[in-house]
Amino acid sequence: MQPTHPTQPDLYSTPPYKRSRRAYCMQAAFEYFIAILVSDAYLAKLLMYVGLDDWLIGIISSFISAAFLFQLTAVFLVRRIRNTKRTVVFFNILGCVLFVSLYLIPFLPVSGGVKTVLIILCLLFAYFGNYFVGSMLFKWANSFVDPAKRASYSAAKEMISLLSGMVFTLIVGVVIDRCESLGRLEAGFLFIAVAGLILAVCCLVCLLMIAKPHAEVSAAEPHPSHSMREVLSNTLGNKNFVHVIILMSLWSAAKYMTVGFLGTYKTGDLLLTVGTIQIINIAGNLCRFALSKLFGRYSDRTSFARGMELALCIAAAAFALNMFTTKSTWWCIILYTVLYDVSFAGTNQNSSNIVYSYVDETYFVEAMAIKNSISGVVGFASSLVGARILSVVQNAGNTVFGIPAAGQQVLSAISCVLTVVCVGYLHGVIAKQKVMKQ
């Protein structure tokens, strides 16, 4: 029987722990492939095919930020769940299947308006499935990782996803471009749907291979129960954690102010093909892959906060460069992509791991849900503001105060400023807080 609170170093070398870590790495990779299929140029291509305007495409592309709000349900229900593994598997796979269903909607014999509604509903329910159990999956799967090596493990997991994702991205990009050149884009959508279904099955197998959570190994060990007052006292009543929420909200606002509107900018304004865009994304992911391990070691050696601080400096530089991306300087989007992807080597996993530094592990799931929900709402609100700014600039003939500028350039400038504020807040406040070792 596994102990409730594993502390022995040798325990992490046992077969069940090794199998669970490997399975989580593979599950993360397969889920990443599905995420690729419903983001950036692929999703933009689907939404443009249905007939949506740029500003609405940007909002829909930013649904992921508002979807984090669904994690709030975990705050109220996590203590009532007796079988974490079964719950995570059901909702995670449900989300994957709904994502895949997006690419079957163009084949339905209904109007464009109905297709738009169906796409929105599919996205909302798919994100609900994923994010309702997102923090539960993270805590469950990471319980098989040595606490002293969390950042390094996260980096290795990310590297596997990135390396395999590059090949996957290139293949899908070539297929979509080929189908579009032959005037058979629907065939490309069908290819994505079939590929996504296979990936969903792979995700299911990997989740089933992860061992049960420690507290659920023995039925004699009751699931811990805390009142909502205790949960709030140890999360929102924790000043150090509140600073983390503020940071992640600022970063979410910076990201979603711009990122959701770049898909149509690449294909519509810069006239880049999906294949070209994916080659650029591969270049960015290669650089991220090369630096992920270094970011992980740096974060383990210093702190998750310091790792994020370095990454956000790189992100600020990325947005600054994107301010100069035009049709004649389209190559700037390459530099932006590389820097932005490299920054994710430090922000992606550290944004979750940083919760371990300032919140008692007993309240980890609730803390993650609260952090992601609040920052997600802020991010979605930011995308709405970004949509309004984009619309105003485009209606003004892509000029600002008489100066030629695309809406996405203006949004990048705002994102750059917000990211710089994040760096200052991290350096001056969060990085100076006392870190919990757990």
Mean pLDDT of all residues belonging to the chain: 85
Q: What is the mean pLDDT of residues 387-410?
A: 86
Q: What is the pLDDT of residues 348-357, one digit of tens each?
A: 888 888 998 8
85 against 220, higher pLDDT? 85
pLDDT band per the 50, 70, 90 thresholds, residue 85? very high
Give pLDDT, residue 98: 94
Give pLDDT, residue 58: 66
Q: What is the mean pLDDT of residues 189-214?
A: 93
Give pLDDT, residue 222: 42
Q: What is the mean pLDDT of residues 388-404?
A: 85
Instruction: Provide the token pair at 152.
Output: 């390094």
Q: What is the pLDDT of residues 250-274, one digit of tens each?
A: 999 999 899 878 877 887 778 787 7
Q: What is the mean pLDDT of residues 400-417?
A: 89
pLDDT band per the 50, 70, 90 thresholds, residue 438? low
Give pLDDT, residue 216: 55
Give pLDDT, residue 383: 86
pLDDT band per the 50, 70, 90 thresholds, residue 3? very low
Q: What is the pLDDT of residues 133-177, one digit of tens each?
A: 888 898 899 889 888 888 889 888 988 988 898 889 888 888 988
Handedness of CA 104, 165, 52, 387 (dihedral sign): positive
72 against 159, higher pLDDT? 159
pTM for this structure? 0.74
207 against 75, higher pLDDT? 207
